């Protein structure tokens, strides 16, 4: 039972990270006013790869 709860908790954590990373990626890689994007996708993903 505890193993299943731990696995479910881990899966929810990963889903949360993926959701947040996706929204952040969208915000940070979309140019403002036709200019250059603030960050590229690799720069946005790097911190999340260590958490997930």
**Extents of the domains making up the chain:** 2-51
Contact 27, 43 (CB under 8 A): no
Tens-digit pLDDT string for the chain (52 aa): 899 999 999 899 888 888 887 887 787 777 777 777 777 777 777 776 776 5
For residue 5, what pLDDT is reported?
93
What integer pLDDT is reported at residue 8 of this predicted model? 93
Q: What is the pLDDT of residue 14?
A: 84
Contact partners, residue 43, CB within 8 Å, separation at least 6? 28
pTM above 0.75, yes or no: no
pLDDT of residue 47: 75
């Amino acid at each position: 039972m505890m193993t299943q709860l731990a696995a479910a908790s881990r899966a929810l954590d990963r889903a949360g990270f993926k959701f947040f990373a996706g929204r952040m990626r969208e915000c940070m890689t979309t140019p403002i006013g036709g200019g250059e994007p603030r960050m590229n996708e690799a720069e946005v993903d790097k911190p999340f790869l260590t958490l997930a």
